[in-house]
Structure 1
């Protein structure tokens, strides 16, 4: 069996996430404490007690999701007695999950990752005034069709394919008025569903340029090591281990498309047969077979999942 560890993006957060891990494993508690210390806030308390409206804020959701993913990784390494390089052949993450993947593979320090994601969330939220941007899921259209819809809807505004998640599941992002036009056009072009997403900003399009500038400055001052296992990067859907390339791609990722479908197919070409989703939720493991029927997906969320996975090694 050849595995890739994959790390979820925003939207997988839920009150209570990481709680069972913290109760069961000291190393998990240490991860949450280190993230709290790095940020100077009681993020883990917020993750356990809410309110949900605060956890959903981009600047909280991003480091919180990373913290759960890293808690799982540290538990796997501690309980299994093996480094990540003995358990996975590559790593990848969806949007913010790419930072989790880099921290898991020791390319980024945990505290640096937490601070970068806090800044990333704040910068993305500040880039566009609330209500001026939007995102929508187009179901039943392929990437080429979705790009055509976005281009027709733009009418001089920004509107672009932001996430190519799976066959027939593309997310578009841009100016709110353009995205609203795209909903109508998509249905005219045969989309099964076209729905606005409950997000606070139009991620992964050119409206995020101010956030990309801020991340560029922060990443320029951040130490990045070669990852212990190769990263499949969002913006290129290609394998990389070069720190300078990783730094550039993290900046490009803010405005660039998340090429998840292509990334998974690249993993398949590298011999991966199982995607192991590490952290909160089961979105990415659920997409595995939709992208390629020969792939399987499993999720590791809590102690029971850890036990099952380690028994399979």
Structure 2
């Protein structure tokens, strides 16, 4: 089987997420590596109180994603393709061997600090389910003002659209979406307006910072957030890591590319499960699982059987 590793982004976090990772030497070593780069124990960052911070949340997601991927690889399961949602792209890049975990930790920390500093309050993101991209775009154009800007950002599925901007504008957008017949319209557990032009200062800083970071050619296929295309060069991954924060994520298109490349097993790294649900909806013929201890035996049986048949 050809496996795609999926790395969730902000919104997937939950209290205790780092303490719920598989008990394995490679996981412990990964957390120690993150702690060394930070100069602080990463396992302090996954409390309910700490996760109110964008910085703690993004660093915890990076650590969990890389640790889970390394755990799978220690079991003999390697990815053919890696895809990361938003900050998950950094974990995907580490897993693909493009960037060291040490450098990724420092970049994610700076990224999150800049995001939090730009928009400490009154901004966020909202999900609209049941309306098309064009319908949600129409609503944003109606409610947008300079004082309360809103934008269409992530296209997770044909009728699962994420928006970002000022909470005042998002509140109006949610009301209009519900009036248009949205199945669900709600604020997400994200305190910054990611993936829109409001975050261009962060992208600019990351572009400059990445110039000084040593990057290698990916050892597997990396699918970008911004273009939803397979990327095979260090420069392509570098561009995606820098720019995705100020651009929308074409997640639905990205998973379509993975299927076209032959992936028939999608494994979502801890602590996520929403990306698995999206695969089930869009590609019912593919196997998709969120990684838990309980799922590992099934995954190992599937991959072992597939290897025996090849």
Asked if Structure 1 and Structure 2 have the same fold, meaning a TM-score greater than 0.5 normalized by the shorter chain, the answer is: yes
Shift of residue 295 of structure 1?
2.5
Query: CA separation in 2, counterparts of 1:58 and 1:270?
Result: 34
**1:187 counterpart = 2:170:** no
1:192-207 to structure 2, matched below 5 A, reads 192-207=183-198
Say if 1:285 and 1:297, in contact at 8 Å, map to a contact too.
yes
Query: CA separation in 2, counterparts of 1:210 and 1:128?
Result: 12
**1:16 counterpart = 2:21:** no
Say if 2:5 and 2:267, in contact at 8 Å, map to a contact too.
yes
Which residue in 2 is equivalent to 1:136? 126
Tell me the secondary structure at the aligned position of residue 19 of structure 1.
coil
Say if 1:72 and 1:301, in contact at 8 Å, map to a contact too.
no
Which residue in 1 is equivalent to 2:137? 147
Match of 2:61 among 58, 65, 68: 65
Tell me the secondary structure at the aligned position of residue 6 of structure 1.
strand
Residue range with higher mean Cα deviation, 104-113 or 240-249: 240-249
Tell me the secondary structure at the aligned position of residue 266 of structure 2.
strand
Say if 2:18 and 2:60, in contact at 8 Å, map to a contact too.
no
Shift of residue 20 of structure 1?
4.9
Shift of residue 130 of structure 1?
0.9
Which residue in 1 is equivalent to 2:49? 53
Shift of residue 272 of structure 1?
1.7
Alignment root-mean-square deviation, CA? 1.8
Render the CA deviation track for 1:197-235: whole Å, top value 9, x for unaligned.
232111111111221122122212111211111111011
Query: CA separation in 1, counterparts of 2:11 and 2:231?
Result: 26
Shift of residue 282 of structure 1?
1.2
Say if 1:158 and 1:205, in contact at 8 Å, map to a contact too.
no
Which residue in 2 is equivalent to 1:104? 95
Say if 2:45 and 2:60, in contact at 8 Å, map to a contact too.
no
1:204-283 to structure 2, matched below 5 A, reads 204-283=195-274
Tell me the secondary structure at the aligned position of residue 268 of structure 2.
strand
Q: Structure 2 unaligned segments of length 5 or more: list them.
A: 304-310
Tell me the secondary structure at the aligned position of residue 45 of structure 2.
helix
Shift of residue 35 of structure 1?
0.1
Say if 2:10 and 2:190, in contact at 8 Å, map to a contact too.
no
Q: Structure 1 unaligned segments of length 5 or more: list them.
A: none
Which residue in 2 is equivalent to 1:292? 283
Which residue in 1 is equivalent to 2:116? 125
Which residue in 1 is equivalent to 2:307? none
TM-score scaled by length of structure 1: 0.90
Query: CA separation in 2, counterparts of 1:242 and 1:308?
Result: 33
Query: CA separation in 2, counterparts of 1:78 and 1:54?
Result: 30
Shift of residue 172 of structure 1?
0.6
Render the CA deviation track for 1:91-132: whole Å, top value 9, x for unaligned.
10111111111101111101111111111111111122411x
TM-score scaled by length of structure 2: 0.91
Residue range with higher mean Cα deviation, 293-302 or 25-34: 293-302
Which residue in 2 is equivalent to 1:5? 5
